[in-house]
Chain A
Amino acid sequence: GESVGLHLPTLSVQEGDNSIINCAYSNSASDYFIWYKQESGKGPQFIIDIRSNMDKRQGQRVTVLLNKTVKHLSLQIAATQPGDSAVYFCAERNQAGTALIFGKGTTLSVSS
């Protein structure tokens, strides 16, 4: 079946450090992946996405890496700030292409 998971439920970093959040997916045919940030009590917000024909995509302070060989996705956040504290979810498009399947999330805590 389709499932998406994250390696660690929590990650604690110091302000200014780089953060790396990992995600493993099971469907080798997945063609689209996306990262969301969710602050407490709010809906998820889009961070960055990547298609399977790419290995890397960069945004503002964020980079997503896709390793299709080992079915692994990661989100790198440069110079992490207290405002980055949130739960981060990876998601992949389902086989039918009609919905996104989400992982369980990693809680990022940034201390000053």
Chain B
Amino acid sequence: DGGITQSPKYLFRKEGQNVTLSCEQNLNHDAMYWYRQDPGQGLRLIYYSQIVNDFQKGDIAEGYSVSREKKESFPLTVTSAQKNPTAFYLCASSIHGPGGTGELFFGEGSRLTVL
């Protein structure tokens, strides 16, 4: 089945450690996104990529890094510079047509807890 796979589902990290969250899609979508969700909050955009080897910062990119070496993969690294990394991380993809991005298809999320 086509979809978006995020891993791991749960992750624990000690302060000062970098951690990488995986996101893979087999929908043949050009655009991919990372959002962060905190309790009682909406989704805030971290980074997005409209095409391979290109990505842009979202609203809260500080302390995060991404790469887009393959169309189907968009890993997110949460670095030690991120002050408050404990959150629920959501990856999404979309078809990006001439009119702009449309419906986002989301993965099931990765919950990161910093101990």
Contacts and interface: CB of A to CB of B under 8 A. Distances in A.
Given A42-B109, A43-B107, A44-B90, A102 B42 contact: yes
B17 to A, nearest CB: 24
* Main DSSP-derived SS at the B contact region: strand
A50 to B, nearest CB: 12
Contacts of B100: 31-32, 93, 96-98
Interface stretch (B33-41, B68-76, B79-87): B33-41
A100 B104 contact: yes
Contacts, number: 67
Interface residues of A, number: 26
Contacts of A41: 109, 111
B103 A101 contact: no
Nearest to B111: A41
A64 B40 CA distance: 23
Interface string A99-112: 11111110000000
Contact of A46 (B44, B58, B90, B103): B103
Interface in A38-67: 41-46, 49
A104 B33 contact: no
Given A34-B103, A99-B101, A43 B40 contact: no
B48 interface: yes
Interface in A8-50: 9, 31-32, 34, 36, 41-46, 49
A9 B39 CA distance: 12
Contacts of B31: 98
- In this complex, which of B33, B96, B103, B107 has the most chain A Cβ atoms within 10 angstroms of its Cβ? B103
10 contacts: A41-B109, A43-B4, A43-B92, A49-B102, A93-B100, A98-B31, A98-B100, A102-B43, A104-B42, A105-B41
Interface of B: 4, 31, 33, 35, 40-45, 48, 50, 56, 58, 90, 92, 96, 99-109, 111
